[in-house]
Amino acid sequence: MKKEKILNLFVGSNNRGKIKEIRDLLPKKVEILTPNDLNLKSPKENGKNFNENSFIKAKFFSKKSNMICLADDSGLEIDSLNRLPGIYSARWGGKKSNFNLAIKKVYKELKKKNLSWYKTKTSARFICSLTIYWPDNKYITVNGKIEGTISRFKKGNNGFGYDPIFIPLNKKITFGQMKPKEKYKIDHRIRAFRKIKKFF
C-alpha cells in the first residue's frame, strides 16, 4: 500500500499513557490531535480481539475527525488466568480504568488460583495492535508482543497500566522500573510501530 507520509494524525485514545508513548515514537514533525481536542468520546469496544478493537477505534475516530487515525488496543495476557485480562485489561480497573484497582484484581485472581503462585514463574505477555485508518477507507493493522512474567510485588513508578508488575523476558526489573528510553527499545508497542514506521 503506497501512501504519502503522514504529517497530521489523529491518535484515537483517551489514555494519557498511551498518547505519550505514541507521541514519543512518532517523528517530531508529525502533528497530533486526540479525542480530547475535539471533545470526542471513545466508541464501544465490542471486538473479540485486540485487532478488532483497534480497527473499531481507528475507523470511528477517522470518520469523526475526517483525519488519518492511528488507534491502539493493547493489554496483558496471563497464562494461568486463561489469558485474562486480555482485551479487558482497562476494564479490570472499573469505569475509570484505575490500574491500581486492576493490579489488585490481578493479584487477587492469581491467589484464587494458587496461594503460592509466585513460587513458580507466572508467564504473561503484553500485546499491542495498531491500526491506521485513512479517510478513503484504506487501513492497515499490525501487531507486536513481548513475553515475560508477573512480578510478586508492584515495582516502579514509570510507564502506566500494568507496567509495574510485568518483567520482560531476560530482564530482572519491571517495565515500571525501566526508564522510558529503555522500555521503548523492547516493548510491544515499539514492536508493532516498527511495522508502520514507513508511513511517517
Q: Catalogue the active-site residues.
A: 73
**DSSP 3-state assignment of 2?**
coil
- DSSP letter, residue 187: S
**DSSP 3-state assignment of 28?**
coil
Dist. CA 80–CA 47, nearest whole Å: 23
Q: Which phi and psi angles does 113 have, rounded to 5°?
A: -70, -40
Query: How many other C-beta atoms lie within 10 A of the C-beta of residue 90?
Result: 20
Locus of grid cell 526508564:
179
Query: How many other C-beta atoms lie within 10 A of the C-beta of residue 95?
Result: 6
Dist. CA 176–CA 157, nearest whole Å: 5
- Alpha-helical regions (H) of the chain: 16-25, 50-65, 99-113, 180-184, 188-193
